Amino acid sequence: MINRSLFENTKTAFILKSDSALERAYFLFKMISSEPLVRIGTAATNFALKAHLPVEGLIRSTVFDHFCGGVNEDDCLSVIDNLYTEGVSSVLDYSVEGKAEEAQFDNALEKILKIINFCDEKEAMPIVVFKPTGFGRFYLYQKKSEGIDFNETERAEWNRIVERFDAVCKLAKAKDVEVLIDGEESWMQDAADDLVEEMMRRYNKDVPIVYNTLQLYRWDRFDYLKSLHQRAKEHGFKIGMK
């Protein structure tokens, strides 16, 4: 049975927030609960940014600081260190997905590798996360999930996706940083599942380093997990699942 008092203890939940920070958060949520204000604010913000008006400081001190840790790794450090004083670890989520150019995929790879090296220096950051479509085109995952053969160009492109996955998981293994790979649309997930499983076979021999996402809204996921468990026993690797 769930202990509801754990969730209702606001003193513990907001221990890292000052009274003024909580008041600012309350005011912010009251503002964004108004649909007309959100529409007006969004339009005004877009106009101000396109017109290069000096509004970045205002955005940073209101909406941005409430929902985001920072603009880069170093900028997040104060938030990370503050959370860790209460035993809360952090995950830097570089949430790039659905791109279409090889240069964009290579850039995402370099960013994730950089974050892994950054995590290696911080006990408060034991995990890195990315989305499969951050490393390759959605169309390729979908085509492979449907069992349709690639042409020569697509096959080379898919091999580069595999290489990006492997580069991340290999470095994560060396640095002892766990890799959480997000789930995506059901009609491309089979290809992602197969690729993540291959990374588990390579790098989860001793302990879980690579973690897949179990999408529990899908009716077939329990059967998938049972079959994965059987393959893990047969091939001697540990399952990582979130």
Would you kindly state where each structural domain of the chain is located, as residue ranges?
Answer: 18-67, 71-235
Q: Which fold has domain 71-235?
A: TIM Barrel (3.20.20)
- Say if residues 179 and 211 touch (Cβ distance below 8 Å): yes
Q: Specify the pLDDT at position 2.
A: 57
Listed in order, strand segments (DSSP E) in 67-195 are: 91-93, 127-130, 178-181
The Cα–Cα gap between 132 and 182 comes to 7
Nearest residue to 188 (alpha-carbon basis) of 241, 149, 242, 147: 147
Other CB atoms within a 10 A radius of the CB of residue 232 amount to: 16
Query: Could you read off the pLDDT of 149-191 as tens digits, one per residue?
Result: 999 999 999 999 999 999 999 999 999 999 999 999 999 999 9
Query: Could you read off the pLDDT of 86-131 as tens digits, one per residue?
Result: 888 888 877 666 677 899 999 999 999 999 999 887 888 899 999 9
Query: Could you read off the pLDDT of 208-232 as tens digits, one per residue?
Result: 999 999 999 999 999 999 999 999 9
- Say if residues 169 and 179 touch (Cβ distance below 8 Å): yes
